[in-house]
Amino acid sequence: MSRTIAIANQKGGVGKTTTAANLGAALGEGGSTVLLVDLDPRADLSGYLGITLPAGATSVYDALFDESVDMSDVILERAWPGLEVAPATIDLAGAEMVMMDRPADERHVVVADALKSLQKRYDYVIMDSPPGLQLLSIAALVAANEVLVPQQCSFLALHGLRQLTDSVERIRAELNPALRICGIVMTMQDRRTVHNRQVIEMVREGFGELVMDTVIPTTIRVQEAAAAGEPITTYDPSGPAAVAYRELAKEVIARA
Ligand SMILES: Nc1ncnc2c1ncn2[C@@H]1O[C@H](COP(=O)(O)OP(=O)(O)OP(=O)(O)O)[C@@H](O)[C@H]1O
Ligand SMILES: [Mg+2]
């Protein structure tokens, strides 16, 4: 059965895009078919996977708002096994305005509607969302069955976590009863610091089983891979971050 997973956290810079790209690559490497959908106007996920489209190029924006464009028209294949990408451009910055003009019951389902015909084609549809809880992020959570929450191992980043789980509750109650939290994955761990360990302990105490066993370590190789436009699983296949993302993929599979 196909699973549609939104990667979300209201807090910025916690590893959402990195997790979307590398979890997608790890699932693809393991034999799953994966569609990565870029729902961030900064198009970081697209850029991460080596796709840089100019404003105006056919992209997710058109699939969401132009009735003559289907999501399947904008999908690009990638060289990595199992992985396809629906890329964004800066045009997506206009999404909020377009959505505001729509009746409330229509604006929340734009992503769900655009993905409907596609979900059966993939084992996993993974959406990267921007920070903050904008209409686009809400629409991603309405389209999803599950949300995976990357959480940076730092006290400062913890603030958004309870907000996010509260938002998920509200969206479940009002807009998408099928939505559940797949898990919280702790990212950018520096094993040398006590601070990091304490944060992980606090999150485990507060959120229990929701927290994934896998913790993604900090390594400069992740940033190098992003700069090279390549998943960590091929850029540094035996390095600690690639190993961790493969473990995360196994956990996600097990939490079906
Ligand atoms: N495991 C890691 N090791 C080292 N650097 C990392 C790791 N994960 C993410 N980063 C870096 O941290 C920064 C933020 O990561 P990322 O862009 O994935 O976060 P984000 O939550 O998508 O941010 P935004 O909210 O701005 O969309 C990036 O520069 C990324 O390369
Ligand atoms: Mg991002």
Rounded Cα distance between 18 and 20, Å, is 6
CA 65 to chain centre: 21
Tell me the per-residue pLDDT of 178-197, one tens digit each, with 9 for 90 and over.
Answer: 999 999 999 999 888 888 89
Binding site membership of 229 for ligand 1 (Cβ less than 6 Å): no
Q: What is the pTM of this model?
A: 0.97
Q: Which CATH superfamily is 3-254 part of?
A: P-loop containing nucleotide triphosphate hydrolases (3.40.50.300)
Binding site membership of 214 for ligand 1 (Cβ less than 6 Å): no
User: For a pocket test of ligand 1, which of 9, 10, 14, 18 has the largest count of ligand atoms closer than 8 A to its C-beta?
Assistant: 18
Token code pair at residue 216: 């993604």
Query: What pLDDT is stored for residue 117 in this prediction?
Result: 87
For the chain, what are the domain ranges?
3-254
Token code pair at residue 89: 């451009």
Binding site membership of 132 for ligand 1 (Cβ less than 6 Å): no
Mark the ranges of the chain whose per-residue pLDDT is less than 50: none
Long-range pairs, 69-78, Cβ under 8 A, ≥24: 70/117, 71/37, 71/114, 71/115, 71/117, 71/118, 72/117, 72/118, 75/35, 76/51, 78/49, 78/50
Query: What pLDDT is stored for residue 173 in this prediction?
Result: 96
Binding site membership of 191 for ligand 1 (Cβ less than 6 Å): no
**Ligand 1, atom 8: nearest CA belongs to which residue?**
15
> How many angstroms is it from 187 CA to the middle of ligand 1?
9
> How many angstroms is it from 112 CA to the middle of ligand 1?
26
Token code pair at residue 203: 């999150």
* Ion ligand 2: residues, Cβ under 5 Å: 16-17, 44
Tell me the per-residue pLDDT of 139-163, one tens digit each, with 9 for 90 and over.
Answer: 999 999 999 999 999 887 787 788 8
**Ligand 1, atom 14: nearest CA belongs to which residue?**
13
